[in-house]
Structure 1
């Protein structure tokens, strides 16, 4: 059996890495399970260097379609054209897509029109926010998917409500946590630790990149100013996304406890998160990692596709509402943050479950 696995962005590679490891184990056990890894090139990222793949022991792609940036329509069209040619040259039995980037949706459409079945890893998650391009990608992908690999019971419920047959849904857990568990003992102290004389549980980490937070200068200034003033007793480490950096350059935001740094690699960033007092973010993936590492997390969004991080884990949604931000930071500083738990099957074995289900489905 041949599987074409699609990755379109840096986080996608972190999700597929444990899946490929699990496939290799099955190959060693004598199963006829083969893969080809396709990078669409959707996100050109200088951090996707040889070092990135070697550091996390992630397989190099067999091909890069080199789509790169463009409008939503331009990128979607270019991915579809490139992936159609890829499938013509390299026929496959199954296309596996992960997450919710444009490549996920575009390659799903191409595969289905070519009569090839699709498996979606991280299927069924929903934010309910149609202003998010990712939400549209999720809806389109799941409307065409044949096999749904899910991270939570909330995702299972979403798919059931859509009428997806139970025998097509496989609750496997979270592959991002597989990658975290595998690398926990390898997390690396960044140079900023020594430079700023940081101490465990005595600083906060902040990340911002969503348009609702960073595109409007006054909103961004107000948000950062409030957070920095409320958390004045703690250094706030802010790895700045390139998108956000351009906007920040025009603002006068200089505070003694706010430290801008360049984006970090996976091992260094998660070292900072693991040893922090708290994290403030508008990222979805970080909320999963903070939940597993039992780090308080304030999410600067009004909604989330990862409900379990709020209802089970350490995450609280505040959007950019001043009162909610104030109350959340007040709760942090009073050391009265809720005690989180790790969601079901977030145990580092999700990829093995996926490989086992593939073998069952295809009776290998």
Structure 2
């Protein structure tokens, strides 16, 4: 080798579409490298560690250029940072949702600017943007779900009416932001993958993971499924996430892996609050939803919610109170109706939503309801 003529060959990936996000070439360079490391980190939440020297070694960006790029990326919410450990170290994570949204906005603006130009001058530009966006999303998310098991039920449940506008639920259609899965099918499919029922329930109600699925497929142009078809795809996606988490077997283990409140995880607190408001709001106090969700009483009620999956019915010890969110909300709605119809419980100011999460209070309420029901039958 002639050292005098040697030219180093150490290129790094650079996505030129990032430069159209208003972050400059330096910001696009740092973001390209951040996306690269996001795919290779062992952290389930996408965090990776880099020193200033690491960034400079990999990108040749000076300290000032790094700080400028980080400031622009953080202002858009695309790059997240956190400091932890002793000594304190800086960790980074790409917010894929914000990045995809910014790219889509950039694509729309580019499309508007190109509108009306001759076809021979613009042909391929929009396609290039779309392909790059799809490629980015595939690189950052789809590779982690490619080997998920096929969880499509042999006899899938009948499709439920979709409240998504004029599109028919039994017709294949692209992913939409307002799409919602068929909960019964989703939970059943997850259970078929040998995922314990409480964990399957938590997965089926994990709005962050479901949101990532919707974001990914909303930019995967050309893919169309029926509502049940999309639900089957989501089940595979969530099963793969469960495998990546180390296959947690209980709701608290799942919550710990996700960094969630172990008592709130998987509990439809908003729906329970709405049920209480609708059925008892005119005769009992209703706490503000946001304040209540942050309170200990909401955590207590969430514990009672989870226990319902393993608590036998008094009328049939072989059956649990409920087995999914729909039957769970039905049980709690029936309890709220019973409280309203009870001459004792409806007038007892001690019985309210804040105290209902107490194990003793709930047992007292259920006992009173059963006692009054027995009196009516007799």
TM (normalized to structure 1)? 0.28
Give the number of the structure whose residues are more often strand, by fraction. Answer: 1
Give the number of the structure whose residues are more often helix, by fraction. Answer: 2
Max Rg structure? 2
TM (normalized to structure 2)? 0.28
